[in-house]
Structure formats: structure tokens, C-alpha cells
Structure 1
């Protein structure tokens, strides 16, 4: 049996160069910027400043995270405007975006596309493979990753609460068959992420509020989270 690889880490909701400077040396795969309405929302210009910092570090020979922009039902015009100011590596679509829109985004801007799947916190039923296939097969060839997140009635995700992890394997099987990554978000923090990665071995984990104190990114919590995920 193959030994599961270490899950990738995505830290979402960064807003300042100071925090980015403090975590850029860690084994983080993705840094996320929120462009959807949120207390963590950044302007395209601020995201562009943070991306410029990472590019400068990369030119010095450093290994830096890829940049991800989080969007909720953006228009084509909004994506074009934001990506002109903030040249992202990944566009994460977090609502009801169609497969056609995902494919257009991928091809138009030459970026990877992550598509979120919202799972109700109260739903403990495990979906059948057939149900997952019916839901996700239209996205084959249009996305590079599926992100499982706890449903939030206002923003779709980013609720800071977990969902029933028992449903992960059926989505994981679909993702592997489709040749895309499976990332898991929703209520993750240093105290529970090691249980998730050791039990389900997702391709990646995504955290935002779980590494904050009083709504501000906490360096010590980020370090602890990353260590819990990446240690073998």
C-alpha cells in the first residue's frame, strides 16, 4: 500500500505584507486572498501588492506559495478587472458558478480553477457515488481541484464550522478518478487538522478563521497548523 503524501496547506484570508513576510518561509502551498464580501476582503490593489512581494522573494531564489483568489459568483468583467491588478495563480469559485464559467475562466486567464462544494453542517447522510457523479461530472476538464467546505447561508462557505467528514471518501474517489485535487476546509484549526489528515489524507487543507485570534491572523497558530499537517 502506498504511503499517503503530506497534504498541501492553504492559508486563506491574508491581508497584510507583514503577516505574509512572517509565514512565507513555511511549507505553505497556497496563500488565499478573499475578493468576495467578507471581513477578510482585500482590494485588487492590496492583493497585487502582496503578490509583488512574493514575486520579489521568488526572484531571490525563495520557494513561495501560489496565490489564490476567492470569488463568489463573479462576472467576467469583475474577474478581468481583478486579475489585471492581481495576477493570481488560482481562481477559487465559491458559489453556483457553472462548468462553462469555470472552463472559460481557466482558458481566458490561464489560471488553475478550484471549485467549492458546500456541505450542510446538519447533513450527516453520506452521498452515494452516483449522486456525487451527477453533481460533479459536468466539471470534469473544467477545474483543477474540488474544495469541500461547510455551507454558509450568506457566503456559501467560510463558516468556521466543520461538516461531517464521513462524506469525504466518496468525493475523494471521484476526484481521483477525475484527476483533480481534493481539498478540505470548514472549521479546521491546529487542534483538529491532524485528525483530518491522518484519517482521510486529502490532497490539501484550507484554513482561515482557525488560525486567527480576535479576527486577526495569528503567527503562532499558523505555524502550529502547518506543523500538524506537514509532520510525518
Structure 2
């Protein structure tokens, strides 16, 4: 039992490190975890076949859940921030959101946006309203991109961290944890549980 618990914790930590390094979910880890836990219990186990199989299944599921929790707590944030910082368009989009919230566009553009938000007179021709809306959109995007290009790395990192952390805070830890389980995670987990059950029983005394 102790050998299985130790193996489960180590596998969860290693899985988290692997996800952090490759920036991929590595769903196959569920199958690998089940197999390794089953082997660990098979070598160290002295219980009945059924007991070892049950423990292996529980530890396999626990390993996957623990790994996902560790990924969410320690790896997902840095991964998201790194991916966003690598993309000028994604970073510019965050600057656009931030500038919109803070109303920090250039004075003339901000005044035009405020005027648009209040609404124009009904006498404005529809074609002209559409043209002005597209013009404002282009100016907003241009200013956001210029702001992103002029920002220092520290400014970009601070902005990305602020918005990525706010998403987790708004959604909550457990709902976010549930979203980390994809169809492939569940498929490989099922195979891992099956492997753990069979391999653990092979060492029953």
C-alpha cells in the first residue's frame, strides 16, 4: 500500500512537470500512471488479489485527480501566460481590453468612443454610422497594438498575469479543475484503471 501511495504522488508531480515543460495536457499519463501503480503494488503487495486490484484502481484515479489539481495550481497559469506573451496579437487583445476598461485611449479617440456609447442622432445615415463604427474599430485596434509594441516585458507580464489570474478567481478552482478533464483524459484514465487492476493482481500472495 505504501509503495503504491508513494508511486502515485511521485507520478502526479512528474506529470505536472511534464505538462509544464511541453505545454500539452499529456492525457496519456493516465494510462501510464495506472500501469506503474499496478506494477508497484504487484511487487510490494501481500494482500489478496481483489484488495490489491481495488487499491490500484483507487490510487490510479487519485493520481490523475491530484495531477490535474497540481497542474491547475502550479502549471496552468505560467503556461497560459507564456503562450499569450509569445503572441503579439493575444497580448494586444489584452491591452485593448485593459484600455477599454480604463478608458485610456488617446483623448480624441476616447471622446469618439464615449460619443458612440451615448448614441448618435437618428438623423445620421445608416451607411455613415457603419463607416464610422469601422473607422473607430480600426483606430482602437491600432492604438492597442501600438501600446503593446511600446510596452516593456515587465508591463506585458504584469497585464497578462492580472487577467489570467482574474479568470481563475472568477471561475473558481473546482469548476476549472473539472474543465481540465477532456474526453481523452477519461479514455486514458479508463485504460489506466484497467491496467492497474490487472497488474496489481498479478503480485497477490
Structure number with higher strand proportion: 1
Structure ID, larger Rg: 2
Q: Quickly name the TM-score band, shorter chain normalised.
A: under 0.3
Q: What is the TM-score of this pair, normalised by structure 1? A: 0.19
Structure number with higher helix proportion: 2
Q: Which has the higher contact order (CA 8 A, sep 6+)?
A: 2
Q: What is the TM-score of this pair, normalised by structure 2? A: 0.21
